[in-house]
Amino acid sequence: MTETVLVTGGTGFLGSYVAADLLEEGHDVVAYDLSTDDHILAKLGVAGDVTIRRGDVTDPTDVVRAVRETGATRVVHLAALLTNAARANPRSALTVNVLGTNNVLEAARVLDDQVERVAWASSAAVYAPPDNYDAGFVDEDELVYPDTLYGATKTYNEHQSRVYHEDYGVSHVGLRPTVAYGPYRETGGSAFLANIVEKPALGESFSVEYGDQVIDWQHARDIARAFRLAAFAPEDDLGQRVYNVRGELATISEAAETVRTILPDVDLTVSEEGELPWTQNLDMTAAQRDLGYEVAYDLETGFRSYINTLREEHGLDPV
C-alpha cells in the first residue's frame, strides 16, 4: 500500500539513499531540507521521482505545515549537524538536533490523526568508550554516556521521544547506526574514509593511517533499509523503541586488504599511526527480531558495489 513519507534531511547523503529505498518499495517521498540541491538524488536515479520541499526543522510552524500539506503518514527524521559540525557550532547543534527533533515529534503529536510513525536517527555515538563495558557485544540496555556533543544531543532525543510516546502516544522508532559509507558521502567525521575506496577505484594511490583502528562499516543502502523497516514495522512487533543497527566490524588494515582483493594492482599503503574515535561492537538482536533487519552488504560486497559505481561514472570497466 502506497504511503507518503516525509524525509527530513532528504537531499543529503543518507536522506537520498532512504528516498531511493522508499521509492523502490512503491512509496511517495517528500525530501524536506534546507538544501534543494538534488545531485545525490540524481546520481541515485531518483531525482525526478522525489518531491523536494525546502524547509527548516528548527521552524516548528514550517514542520507542521510541511507534514500536513504533503499528507505524509510517516516521517523519517535525519536532519542533524553531525559530529564535527556539532563540535564547531555547539549552539546550532542543540537547535538543529534537539529542537529540530522536538519539532518533528510535536508535528506528529498535533497531527496524530495523520502521522502513523516517526522513524528517526539516534546514533551509536550515545555510548561511552569501549573500556566502560564488560560484554563482548553492547546492547541497547548498556551504559549510555556519550563523549561528544553530537552524541549528547542524540541521547537527549532518546529521552524526549520516549516521553512523547508515553505521554502523548506518538509512535516512534529510533535507530543507532554506526559509520555510514557508500558513494557520494561528503560530510561527517568519517567521510575521509571514503578515499580508501574512491582513490583506488579510479587508479589513484592513497596512504591512510589508523591501520589497527576498528570501524563498523555500514553501507548506506543497509541503513536506508533499516529506516524503512523502522518506519513501517507493525506496532505490535516492537519490543522497544530504540534499536542498534550495525554493519561489519573491520580494522582500517582489513578494509584496505579487502580493496586489494578487489583491485590487486592498487597502490594503497596503511600505517598504524594516529587514533580514530572508538567503535562499539553492537548487539542488534532486537532489530533482527522486531524489524527484520539484516546486513545485506558485507565489506567485500559493499566495497565492490561502491568501486563499480565510481568506475562506471568515470567510463572504466567494472571489477
Same domain, 151 and 255: no
Dump pLDDT digits (tens) for 231-241. Answer: 999 999 999 99
Say whether both 88 and 157 belong to one domain.
Answer: yes
In degrees rounded to 5, what are phi and psi of residue 114? Answer: -115, -45
In whole numbers, what is the pLDDT of the chain averaged over residues?
96
Q: Are 183 and 143 in contact (CB under 8 A)?
A: no
The kind and range of the H/E element at 256 are helix 252-262
Q: Which residue is listed with cell 562499516?
A: 217
21: containing domain: 4-180+218-246
Q: What is the pLDDT of residues 196-233, one digit of tens each?
A: 999 999 999 999 999 999 999 999 999 999 999 999 99
Domain holding 256: CATH number?
3.90.25.10
Q: Is 210 within the bounds of a domain?
A: yes
Q: Which of 144, 208, 220 is nearest to 178 (CA)?
A: 220
Beta strands 242-244 and 206-208: pairing type?
Answer: unpaired
Residue 112 and residue 77 share a domain: yes
pTM: predicted TM-score of the whole model, two decimal places = 0.97
Number of domains, the chain: 2
Shared domain for 162 and 188, answered yes or no, is no
Q: pLDDT tens digits, residue range 129-169?
A: 888 898 789 999 999 999 999 999 999 999 999 999 999 99
| pLDDT at residue 131, rounded to an integer | 85
Determine the Cα–Cα distance for residues 122 and 155; give it in Å rounded to an integer. Answer: 7
Is residue 87 included in any domain, yes or no? yes
Residues 136, 74: Cα–Cα separation, whole Å: 35
What size, in residues, is the chain? 319
Comparing C-alpha atoms, which of 101, 109, 116, 124 is closest to residue 71?
116
Q: What is the rounded CA–CA span in Å between residue 217 and residue 190?
A: 10
Does the structure show a pLDDT above 70 at 79? yes
